[in-house]
């Protein structure tokens, strides 16, 4: 696990790479996701930041996450009903396999859906532009 300084440096570099203004709040929120191997809710990130002595409001965490998601810096997962989860993912097109018990997340980069989606879209008069897949199940440790 990365230390606070390392995580914040990596977060600032990621924001710079993506052309997103690196405000102190965005860096701190993203640094928490740098340290998180799976995903976290805004509430969880807020609690972690407060536990580290960071004075940041929950609304600021939500606003920061919204910008990070809009700019494609983080992915938003919907496996918890009524609550969005956020994850720092690798680049490129990928999907997610999420454990419904422990919330472990696995990125799936091998996508074989494009031909099928193109055919289904065309059948209904659409042109397939993008897709996301989030598959929930139980990992081997939780079964």
How high is the pLDDT of residue 107? Answer: 87
Going 25 to 102 to 141 to 51, the CA torsion angle's sign is positive
Whose tokens are 């965490």? That residue is: 61
pTM to 2 decimal places: 0.83
What pLDDT band is residue 93 in, cutting at 50, 70 and 90?
A: confident
Helix (H) or strand (E) run with residue 45 in it: helix 42-51
Helix axis angle for 42-51 and 58-70, nearest 10°, is 120
Q: Which residues contact 31 (CB under 8 A, 6 or more apart)?
A: 4, 7, 8, 10, 11
Mean pLDDT, residues 18-24: 95
* Percent of all residues in the chain with a pLDDT value above 70, rounded to a whole number: 97
Backbone angles phi, psi at 77, to 5 degrees: -110, 150
Question: d(Cα 130, Cα 121) in Å, to the nearest integer?
Answer: 11
What pLDDT band is residue 1 in, cutting at 50, 70 and 90?
A: low
Mean pLDDT, residues 119-130: 90
Exposure b/e, 55-67, CB count within 10 A at least 16 = b: ebeeebbbbbbeb
């Amino acid at each position: 696990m990365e230390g606070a300084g390392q995580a914040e440096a990596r977060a600032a570099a990621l924001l710079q790479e993506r052309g997103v203004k690196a405000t102190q709040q965005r860096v701190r929120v993203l640094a928490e996701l740098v340290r998180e191997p799976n995903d976290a809710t805004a509430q969880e990130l807020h609690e972690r930041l407060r536990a580290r002595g960071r004075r940041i409001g929950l609304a600021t965490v939500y606003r920061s996450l919204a910008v990070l998601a809009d700019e494609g810096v983080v992915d938003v997962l919907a496996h918890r009903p009524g609550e969005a989860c956020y994850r720092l993912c690798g680049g490129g097109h990928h999907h997610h396999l999420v454990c419904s018990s422990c919330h472990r997340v696995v990125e799936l980069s091998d996508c074989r859906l494009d031909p099928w989606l193109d055919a289904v879209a065309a059948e209904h008069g659409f042109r397939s532009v993008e897709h996301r897949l989030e598959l929930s199940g139980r990992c081997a440790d939780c079964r």
